[in-house]
Amino acid sequence: MAEITKNKVGTMLDRMNKFGEDAKGDLMEDILSILTEEEVGNIALTPRERADIMQLIKGNYSTQAFFNALQVTVRVLDDMKIPKGKREIFKPLDKKFKFGVELVPSTGIDKIVAYTRKFELGGIDNIWITDHYMNRDPYVTLALVARATDTAELGVGVTNPYMRHLAQTASVIASLDDVSDNRMILGLGVGDKSTLGSLNIGMEKPLTTVKETVEVIRSLWEGKGVNFKGDIIAVENARMNFKPDRQIPIYIGAQGPKMLKLAGSIGDGILINASHEMDFEIANRMIHEGVSGANRSIGDVDVVAYTSFSVDKDEKEAIKAAVPVVAFIAAGTPQKVLENHGLDVERAMQMKEFIEKGKFGDAFGLVNDSFTNTFSVSGTPGQCIDKIENLLGAGVTQFVFGSPLGKTKKDATPLITEKILPAFS
């Protein structure tokens, strides 16, 4: 069945306008013949989906209401193909820890929004939208995601303090927290050195910059005038004209020992780009140092495994899909880390050389099982569950299904929501 997008629905409604209200009424009748009161009572709906269906019943033919009703109709029709005795119904219970998903707005925003709804219905706790200038704007995307979802926490994963001024970041995050009914998270990191370099943006004193940025943003969210003069950041009588309902959580992207320690001392959460339990056993020592030095409890910090993830019914297909992401990770990994994992340093350096020359096929061809096992969680649903369990044992409190998810998002999504998430309920 062709994928439904809001743009397609809008075009369809425009065409129907040319034929008058009778055409809309006929389509309305067809939809409601499927979404009967009894059927709607038996299927999983978000409050927003239920409200939009009611809007259609009342004759409000908005694009949003049609879009959501058609999405539900497609789900009902798909379910009708499955004998009821074989249908698996997932109702999330208490979880050992939280699950997030990373979505990259490189494709149409309507598609991203549709996937966030599927993941939220499937039990995802956090939705992370990446921030990269090459893709669609994360904050435009998050505004639409906020309107389309109801329960999942929403985060930018991650923005950096060099490309966007902290005042802009403070304002947009606070605005999104308002739009989302207090579900926003600010993910903050120093950014990618190669990307910033290509834009001629320096990375002066990353530790100091992150620390001072967090301090000033939190002060701005207090709604008072802020005067601050640090080593990097300086503001004079700066203030916001509105005050957020709360101090919005700030998660810090961290890899190195010093940033991990800083994140443990000031962050509400720590986003760690790693997929192997050994990396978290090492990271947790640094995090504990930061936590104890700030007289905090480790329970106050959400330790997030922001992984490269790939799942498929066929193990080989899952690993194959992860290879490009793993190659880029390996190429940017310090030699000491490669050695700690017993990886071939020379092979990783060759990957880096090929990538810098744009010879991506050659770089991907150097990735073997030892690299995919270290830098990704990939395999069949059962294999992925085992690897997630290992990360849980290493102190992770939130697992993020990161890029690429699988061979295709369409195939990976039900494996995540129907096979993997229920294993942790």
For the stretch 202-219, pLDDT in tens is 889 999 999 999 999 999
Residue 239 maps to a domain: yes
Pair 169, 106 in one domain: yes
Residue 63 maps to a domain: yes
Q: What is the reported pLDDT for 15?
A: 57
Cis before 158? omega within 30: yes
The overall average pLDDT reported for the chain is 87
Pair 150, 252 in one domain: yes
Please give the residue range of the domain that contains residue 168: 98-313+380-424
Whether the model pTM is above 0.85: no
Angle at 379 between CA 257 and CA 404, to 5 degrees: 65
CA–CA gap between residue 414 and residue 78 (Å, rounded):
13
Q: Which of 38, 53, 86 is the last residue of a domain?
A: 86
For the stretch 138-193, pLDDT in tens is 999 999 999 999 999 999 999 999 999 999 999 999 999 999 999 999 999 998 77
Pair 102, 151 in one domain: yes
DSSP code of residue 97: S
The region of weakest confidence among 45-59, 342-356, 358-372, 404-418 is 45-59
Q: Which of 29, 56, 86 is the last residue of a domain?
A: 86
> Which H helix or E strand runs over 139?
helix 138-148
Q: Count the domains in the chain.
A: 2
In this predicted structure, the answer to whether residue 371 has a pLDDT above a threshold of 70 is: yes
In this predicted structure, the answer to whether residue 387 has a pLDDT above a threshold of 70 is: yes
CATH code, domain with 397: 3.20.20.30
Contact of 142 with 159, CB cutoff 8 Å? no
Pair 135, 212 in one domain: yes
Mean pLDDT of 207-234: 97
Q: Which of 34, 60, 86 is the last residue of a domain?
A: 86
Q: What is the reported pLDDT for 225?
A: 94
For the stretch 58-114, pLDDT in tens is 666 677 777 777 777 766 665 544 443 443 433 444 456 899 999 999 988 999 999
Residue 264 maps to a domain: yes
Hey, what are 267's tokens? 């962050």
Pair 204, 254 in one domain: yes
Pair 41, 116 in one domain: no
Q: What is the reported pLDDT for 12?
A: 59
Cis before 138? omega within 30: no
Q: C-alpha distances in angstroms, 218 versus 183, 190, 213?
A: 17, 18, 9
Residue 124 maps to a domain: yes
Residue 305 maps to a domain: yes
User: What residue type is 189 in one-letter code?
Assistant: G
Pair 158, 300 in one domain: yes
Residue 337 maps to a domain: no
Pair 119, 73 in one domain: no
Pair 58, 109 in one domain: no
CA–CA gap between residue 292 and residue 298 (Å, rounded):
8
Pair 145, 282 in one domain: yes
Residue 13 maps to a domain: yes
CA–CA gap between residue 61 and residue 369 (Å, rounded):
53
CA–CA gap between residue 290 and residue 296 (Å, rounded):
9
CA–CA gap between residue 140 and residue 175 (Å, rounded):
12
**Which is it for the CA torsion 45, 109, 361, 193, positive or negative?**
negative
Residues in Cβ contact with 46 at an 8 Å cutoff, skipping those fewer than 6 apart: 117, 120, 121, 149, 150, 151
Residue 194 maps to a domain: yes
Pair 126, 55 in one domain: no
Pair 214, 309 in one domain: yes
For the stretch 300-331, pLDDT in tens is 999 999 999 999 999 999 999 999 999 999 99
